[in-house]
Structure 1
Amino acid sequence: MVTAREIAHVLNPVLCLAINVLIQIAVARWGRWGLLKSVYLGFAAGMGALLGGEWVIAQGSGLALNEAAALLFVNVVTYGMLGYCYFHFINLGETARRIRLLRELHEAGGGLALDELLGRYNASQMVEIRLKRLLGTGQIVERDGRYFIGKPVMLWISQAIVVAKRIVLGKSSEFD
């Protein structure tokens, strides 16, 4: 027979994802931080709720320490993967050129000519916009006309993604 504690362990990562989403949306709409910081804050709030929830669920459960630690590990990994999926759901709508292109064609009504599209998708402008964002968040810094890694958090995340792609897909990019 399934106990209420077992159900709570299963639902905890999902409920904490809901907390993540609600906090992220609230901060993105009404906070003073940008989109990326709202995603970080939402994820951290959900992780805090997950850890607190796991602690509450474990109290008086009679589980051995190694069982409780294993459940905590599984739920932290599960929540991490759910948060990762949510991040990419947001990212897909914000930065994916295919999504943006489809939205712009739809909003144009009568369609757009190739010259109009190329004007909107100038490679130099795209790089300038991304550099401005990276500089603004401190992820890169400029010294003597050259760009360097600033805060390496996103670099570490991208390296982890490459490792995951190698493990799951057997390649590090879609061009392999």
Structure 2
Amino acid sequence: MSAADASTTADYWLLAAPIVGTVANVGAQLVLARLMTTGRLLILIAAAFGIGLGTTAALTLFALRLGDTTTPDALALSASILFIYSAAGFVLFAIINLGETSLRIRMMRMLLARPGGIGREELVAEYDDRALIAVRLRRLEENGQARVAQGMYYARPSVLFIAAAIIRLVKQVVYGRHRTR
């Protein structure tokens, strides 16, 4: 393998490192969520982040050994890759945390609305799949994102439609034609 080929291969591994690390993070979260009997979400997220970080670091070291990089370049590349992985991990944490927090806020609203208290069964019943879908459908209607006529839901123009149109336009400009994927 020539030096140019080794350098190109190393570059591909460097590009893949934070992606593979993030996939390892998500996979570890799924596995750990099944294995952990305690409900400590933060511990699960931190452990999965560590697994993804280790994977990212290992792939980065592997790639740096393939290529011919100086020590300062290797340090800069490593820092950049670990920063990218950390940013992806933070986004994943924020998404998980938003879902958990919104659920707690809704439950707290129910508790505040009932000063006399509410039973666990009633709280759980409020958050089954059908109840969640009913709440989301009601919000679509209340926020003007959907119109209901004779039991049928119809989409109304919203910010999401505008965002989708902008994305289609950008794709058309970048790719030269409209692509659906």
Alignment partner for residue 89 of structure 2, among 71, 83, 86? 83
Q: What RMSD, in angstroms, separates the aligned Cα atoms of the two structures?
A: 2.8
Higher Cα Rg: structure 1 or 2? Answer: 2
- 1-side partners of 2:69 and 2:26: how far apart? 31
| Shift of residue 100, structure 1, vs aligned partner | 6.3
- 2-side partners of 1:53 and 1:83: how far apart? 17
Aligned to 1:120: 111
SS in 2 for 1:32: coil
Output the TM-score relative to the length of structure 2: 0.53
- 2-side partners of 1:27 and 1:79: how far apart? 20
Contact 1:25/1:38 (<8 A) preserved: no
Q: Could you tell me which runs of 5 or more consecutive residues in structure 1 were left unpaired when the two chains were aligned.
A: 105-116, 125-176
Q: Could you tell me which runs of 5 or more consecutive residues in structure 2 were left unpaired when the two chains were aligned.
A: 116-181
* Per-residue deviation, residues 127-153 of structure 1 (Å, max 9, x unmatched): xxxxxxxxxxxxxxxxxxxxxxxxxxx
- 2-side partners of 1:77 and 1:28: how far apart? 26
| Shift of residue 118, structure 1, vs aligned partner | 4.4
Aligned to 1:13: 18
- 1-side partners of 2:57 and 2:10: how far apart? 15
Distance of aligned partners of 1:42 and 1:118 in 2 relative to their CA distance in 1, 3 Å threshold? closer
- Aligned length, in residue pairs: 109
- 1-side partners of 2:105 and 2:35: how far apart? 24
- 1-side partners of 2:105 and 2:20: how far apart? 31
| Shift of residue 61, structure 1, vs aligned partner | 1.0
* Per-residue deviation, residues 12-49 of structure 1 (Å, max 9, x unmatched): 10110010111112112222342111100000001111
- 2-side partners of 1:121 and 1:65: how far apart? 59
Aligned to 1:49: 55
Q: With CA pairs under 8 Å and 6+ residues apart, which has the higher RCO, 1 or 2?
A: 2
Alignment partner for residue 61 of structure 1, among 42, 67, 85? 67
| Shift of residue 53, structure 1, vs aligned partner | 0.9
Aligned to 2:35: 30
Contact 2:10/2:66 (<8 A) preserved: no
Contact 1:93/1:100 (<8 A) preserved: no
Distance of aligned partners of 1:82 and 1:118 in 2 relative to their CA distance in 1, 3 Å threshold? closer
Distance of aligned partners of 1:118 and 1:22 in 2 relative to their CA distance in 1, 3 Å threshold? closer
Aligned to 1:140: none
Output the TM-score relative to the length of structure 1: 0.54
| Shift of residue 59, structure 1, vs aligned partner | 0.9
- 2-side partners of 1:118 and 1:31: how far apart? 29
Q: Which amino acid aligns with 2:30?
A: I
Identity within the alignment, %? 22
